[in-house]
Structure 1
Amino acid sequence: MIERARVTASVQMMLATATGKPCGLGRLPLVEGRPAPLPYMVLYPQGGPVGGAPLADQSEDGRLVYQVTIVAARTDQAEWLADRALQALLGRTAAGRWQHAIQIPDVDVWGRELLVDDGVDLSDADAGVVTAVQRYTLSVTAY
């Protein structure tokens, strides 16, 4: 069975480690118990189908969607961190492997796809906050 919470926790940890910036789960991330300074990321699990194993295969498959929202003080910060998140999730080595593994015991994250990159939203720039939104699909198999 694919436990979505384990996948989500691993994606959150990988994003924070690969970008060097905090990543909250559905809310502002905390650093040492205090609100993280800008820029930071917020990860939102969006669901997606998880199917039972086909007759000839005992592995369960799923396609899980995640939204990564970048929160920054300036446009250049938002674009910089959005590029880092994109690289963290989709970057590959020369050998074709993912640069940043999403490690989950008994689950293989074998596919990653960018669904949406909305760019930077400047609607709150006067308040000193700009955001950027990206959505990704992860293809996973439990074994």
Structure 2
Amino acid sequence: MSPPRLPLTRALVDVLAVGTGRPCGLGVLPRTADGQAAAFPYLILDSLPGEFSGPSFGDWQADAAWTYQATSVGERADQVQWLGDRVRVVVADRLRNLDVPGMRVIDRELTYDADGEPVDGSQGSIVTYVQRFTITVTPA
């Protein structure tokens, strides 16, 4: 059996918010403590399909590789590029010591980066920057 995904997802939301210094919502616009929409720039983390592999059925230990998408959202291209740079640093450096009960991060890979180009949205002046990364964990 592979480790449960939700604890890792919650830990990622927290480490991205702390590591970037900007709010991060799980699949939605992040909110402030009083319920107001977060100010730009902010992150939205989405869980994408993952996979698991491991030993034979007789052994319950299995590694899991889960993919996430971090969307930086801002009013200007420089905001989302700056936030994308911060996300890259968090994924590269801070995930190795991520504290998630019952699992240990053994690998992380940036699988898609918006090639340095933010995308103008259709919502007026909103600009987004998309990055996808895969995190592999093993039971601790």
Return the TM-score normalized by structure 2.
0.88
Cα deviations by residue, 1:5-38 (Å, 9 ceiling, x for unpaired):
1110011111001111000000100012110000
Once the two structures are TM-superposed, the CA of residue 58 in structure 1 deviates from its matched residue by 5.2
Once the two structures are TM-superposed, the CA of residue 128 in structure 1 deviates from its matched residue by 1.6
Other-structure match for 2:120: 122
Other-structure match for 1:49: 51
Other-structure match for 1:40: 42
Matches of 1:116 and 1:76, distance apart in 2 = 19
Counterpart of 2:100, as a letter, is I
Once the two structures are TM-superposed, the CA of residue 60 in structure 1 deviates from its matched residue by 1.7
Provide the secondary structure at the position in 2 that maps to 1:64.
strand
Matches of 1:110 and 1:19, distance apart in 2 = 22
Other-structure match for 1:95: none
Once the two structures are TM-superposed, the CA of residue 101 in structure 1 deviates from its matched residue by 2.9
Matches of 2:49 and 2:95, distance apart in 1 = 24
- Go from structure 1 to structure 2 and tell me whether the alpha carbon gap of 1:107 and 1:47 turns closer, same or farther (over 3 Å shift): same
Once the two structures are TM-superposed, the CA of residue 55 in structure 1 deviates from its matched residue by 6.7
Deviates more, 1:68-77 or 1:1-10: 1-10
Are the counterparts in 1 of residues 96 and 106 from structure 2 also a CA contact under 8 Å?
no
Cα deviations by residue, 1:57-103 (Å, 9 ceiling, x for unpaired):
65320010000000011010010000000101113xxxxxx476321
Are the counterparts in 1 of residues 106 and 136 from structure 2 also a CA contact under 8 Å?
yes
Matches of 1:88 and 1:100, distance apart in 2 = 10
Matches of 2:97 and 2:136, distance apart in 1 = 13
Other-structure match for 2:105: 109
Which of 63, 88, 95 is the equivalent residue of 2:90? Answer: 88
Provide the secondary structure at the position in 2 that maps to 1:35.
coil
Are the counterparts in 2 of residues 18 and 100 from structure 1 also a CA contact under 8 Å?
no
Q: How many residues align?
A: 136
Provide the secondary structure at the position in 2 that maps to 1:49.
strand
The list of structure 1 runs, each at least 4 consecutive aligned residues, that deviate by more than 6 angstroms after superposition, is: none
| Superposition CA RMSD, Å | 2.0
